[in-house]
Amino acid sequence: MIAVVHPTGNTFVRALVQALEQGGGDYRLFTTIAMFSDSAITRRLPSGLRQEMVRRDFGIPAARIQTQPWRECARLAARRLKWNRLVAHESGWACLDAVCQNLDRMVARSLQADTVRHFKTVHAYEDCALESFRAARNRGVFCSYELPIAYWETSRNLLHEEAERYPDWTATMIGTRNSDAKLERKTRELELADLVVCPSRFVWNTLPPCVRGRKRCIVAPFGSPQGVRARVTRPSNRNLRVLFVGTMTQRKGLADLFAAMRMLGRKDVELVVMGTPLQPMDFYRARCENFTYKPPRSHGEALAIMEGCDVLVLPSIVEGRALVQQEAMACGLPLIVTPNAGGEDLVEEGRTGFLVPIRSPQSIAERIDWLATHRQCLPDMADCARHKAETVTWSQYTEAILHEFRKDGSEQKRIAA
């Protein structure tokens, strides 16, 4: 049996458990909250809360899921009610770290008490694996570790350098405030893993060389959304609409994009920023006065915003593989991204977009300027972007991981024989 452990459930977690379900795999999902879109409870929730909760619908039977909900419920409530002390970074009773560690301990207890299910593999994610892996090791269970973002040593170094480049943006980079204890936990999780799954070559390259040398480390890129409707061609005489999507932090290069827009100075180029602000809006307006802000919204509504834009710009400093890149491409938007956004394989230069160096507002401005000047190229680039997105699927992602699980099972059978 396979144990999949994740505190909140992201698109890639849903893809994995649904693949296990469709393949008839023997598995359990350990998470905090699981909802079912067609349940009476979900239908009675206020619309805003219902939209958030349906993200916890994993599309698998309830019998496959084991939950630990209370601390996560407190975290969600505290965020809505602005009870900041309760969710304070690392120290709050209901902060994300506390939620992860609480779930991790629950899984460890389940593994220690397992006399019926006979777990063979534990697949867990960064910050939610230490106790599970310790318990798994004691029982000879295979430990699979998915690292959805760059390894902490690279992240810390890059973000501290950004804090020196942009001191006023430091408050938006939470990774600069991680304690030694949290970083040690990440180190121990990686040490205990038998398999390390990375979503991009960028993340794979951030692993310590000794880890790559002695552990099974694979790249399994996230898939693209399916069934996105064709984008309506925008008139070429309208402004070029540049889109940024994500948390409004310099970790995602927003300060560099703002600097590029100031360099550009073109009145026929608009910037649209969709995401969660980490500072008051006045902070961002002081650095780039003329942009259109769009708050976070449902997936379908976000895709509608994308379809009204022309290009996605994501000059990230540290990512894993930003899913928004493939979502935008599926809507017909070419990319202007850095290699650190984790989608280097998505960029065919001049066809699906452009790759720019990190920390280079000048390069970003030059590429936006080129698109604004060569608007006639956008329809062909939109087609190329859509076709490229279609070649990267969730079935490829899940098969890469499940292939490693099957290899481990075959090896165990060979040793037993």
**Domain chopping of the chain, boundaries:** 2-223+394-416, 240-390
**Assigned CATH topology for domain 240-390:** Rossmann fold (3.40.50)
Look up residue 200 and give its amino acid. S
Q: What percent of the chain has pLDDT over 70?
A: 90
Average pLDDT over residues 93-106: 96
Half-sphere exposure of 68 (CA within 13 A, CB side): 22
Non-local (6+) Cβ contacts of 235 within 8 A are none
The Cα angle at residue 79 between residues 76 and 83, in degrees rounded to 5: 120
Domains 2-223+394-416 and 240-390 share a fold: yes
Closest CA to 62 of 42, 77, 78, 47: 42
Q: Tell me how far apart the 2 most distant CA atoms of the chain are, in Å.
A: 72
Written as one letter, the residue type at 154 is T
Q: Averaged over 315-342, what is the pLDDT? A: 96
Rounded Cα gap, residues 58 and 109, in angstroms:
23
Catalogue the E-assigned strands of 262-380: 269-274, 292-294, 311-314, 335-337, 353-355
Q: What pLDDT is stored for residue 413 in this prediction?
A: 44
Question: pLDDT tens-digit profile of 5-19?
Answer: 999 988 999 999 999
Residue range 158-183, pLDDT digits in tens: 999 999 999 999 999 988 889 999 99
Query: CB under 8 Å to 137, separation ≥6 — which residues?
Result: 143, 192
Give percent of the chain with pLDDT exceeding 90.
Answer: 81
pLDDT at position 300: 83
Q: Is 284 helix (H, G, I), strand (E, B) or coil?
A: helix
CATH number of 2-223+394-416: 3.40.50.2000
The H-assigned helical ranges of 207-276 are: 209-214, 254-264
CB of 272 closer than 8 Å to CB of 294: yes
Task: Tell me what pLDDT residue 416 has.
Answer: 34
pLDDT digits (tens, 9 = 90+) for 56-79: 889 999 999 999 999 999 999 998
Q: How far apart are CA 64 and CA 306, in angstroms?
A: 35
- Summary mean pLDDT of the chain: 91
- What is the per-residue pLDDT across 361-388, written as a single tens digit (0 to 9) for each? 999 999 999 999 999 999 999 999 999 9
State pLDDT tens for residues 245-301.
999 999 999 999 999 999 998 999 999 999 999 999 999 999 999 999 999 888 888
What would the two tokens of residue 335 be? 């990319």
Amino acid at 59: G
> Is the pLDDT assigned to residue 415 strictly greater than 50?
no
Q: Looking at the predicted structure, is the pLDDT value of residue 414 above 80?
A: no
Q: Where are the alpha helices (DSSP H) in 89-151?
A: 96-112, 130-138
123 in Cβ contact with 100 (< 8 Å):
no
For 135: left if phi > 0, alpha if psi spans -120 to 50, otherwise beta; the answer is alpha
Q: How far apart are the C-alpha atoms of 292 and 411, rounded to whole Å?
A: 55
Grouping H, G, I as helix, E, B as strand and the rest as coil, residue 300 is helix
